[in-house]
Structure 1
Amino acid sequence: MLRQFLGALGVLTTPAPDRIVAVFETIAVENPDENTVHSWFGLLIRVEGVVLTTAALRDDRLYAWLMNVTGIFGAVLVFVPRLYEQIAGALVYEDPESVGWNEHLTDGVRVIGAVYVLLALLDRRRRKGT
């Protein structure tokens, strides 16, 4: 079921990168109108959507690798949630220093990280057949 969810997520994100950024900014950023998103970031979201869809629908090795990376990234988010602000700021915005992050973002990032770890562990358990 997780594979189908990831495939659907990939299909939904590929054609609508601007909406993805808008949702992200609504949740995570206090001053979205004061920041400029990198011109190439929409393309990066589309590539991510294609990779998610491809991994979910076609390739077991790519899917397994993606889930392993998701679990590792999730662990980093749980233990070093402020690192997410640095990574996302530099990746998304032209001037990451000007981004005003939502005060509750750290807690949300930890929860998302824990979910990523749990999903990766459940998938690993399914792949091992235990």
Structure 2
Amino acid sequence: MLRTLLIGFGLLEIVRPEPVIEACERIGLRNPAAAQRRPLALTGARLEGLVFVWLLVRGRQGSTLVTAMLGLAGLVLVLLPRPIIALSQHLVYADTDALELQPWVVPAARLLGVLYLTVTLLSRSTGEEPTPDGGAGDSNCSSRRFGIRSS
């Protein structure tokens, strides 16, 4: 169910990133109306949604590079959120000096890191039920196809 919710969130971010960004601004900024967003913000949100959906739908067949990058980003956000917050502000906003952050931005960034790690872990599990022969899904297909028996 969590996988389905995250896929839905990713699809929302792809199709309508503005409400997601606005909600994050309301949560993280004391003055969200004063923020001057760069056009890159919408592209970044869509890319994040695309990565979520792609990894969660493709599972183990997805890119290990993308999975590793998302996992690394999640780990860095959990352990060192302040540099990432500063970097993302400079990428997303034209007027970073005018931004007034809420005191809970650092814990929220850590939660985002946990979300990234959750997507990474969920993408590694395919969600397939084990088959009667003990495998998961099609994992023993090539052995059966070539008549190889396991002892």
* TM-score between both structures, scaled by the size of structure 2: 0.66
Please name the residue that 2:111 is paired with: 111
Deviations 1:62-97 (A, max 9, x none): 354443222211221122111132122012101222
Please name the residue that 1:83 is paired with: 83
Bigger CA drift: 57-66 or 93-102?
57-66
Deviation at 1:44, TM superposition (A): 3.0
Whole-angstrom CA distance in 2 between matches of 1:116 and 1:44: 15
Please name the residue that 1:55 is paired with: 55
Please name the residue that 1:93 is paired with: 93
CA RMSD of aligned residues (A): 2.8
Instruction: Could you list the structure 1 runs, at least 4 aligned residues long, displaced by more than 4 angstroms after superposition.
Output: 121-124
Deviation at 1:19, TM superposition (A): 0.4
Whether the 8 Å CA contact 1:29–1:102 is kept in 2: the answer is yes
* TM-score between both structures, scaled by the size of structure 1: 0.75
Whole-angstrom CA distance in 2 between matches of 1:18 and 1:47: 13
- Equivalent position amino acid for 1:40 in 2: L
Whether the 8 Å CA contact 1:78–1:113 is kept in 2: the answer is yes
Mark the structure with the bigger radius of gyration. Answer: 2
**Correspondence 1:22 to 2:22:** yes
Aligned length: 127
Please name the residue that 2:35 is paired with: 35
- Give 5+ residue unaligned stretches, structure 1: none
Whole-angstrom CA distance in 1 between matches of 2:10 and 2:111: 21
Whole-angstrom CA distance in 1 between matches of 2:112 and 2:17: 20
SS of residue in 2 equivalent to 1:111: helix
Deviations 1:78-121 (A, max 9, x none): 22111132122012101222211111111222233245445535
Whether the 8 Å CA contact 2:52–2:119 is kept in 1: the answer is no
Whole-angstrom CA distance in 1 between matches of 2:80 and 2:24: 20
Bigger CA drift: 95-104 or 66-75?
66-75
Bigger CA drift: 47-56 or 91-100?
47-56
Deviation at 1:36, TM superposition (A): 0.4
Sequence identity of aligned pairs in percent?
27
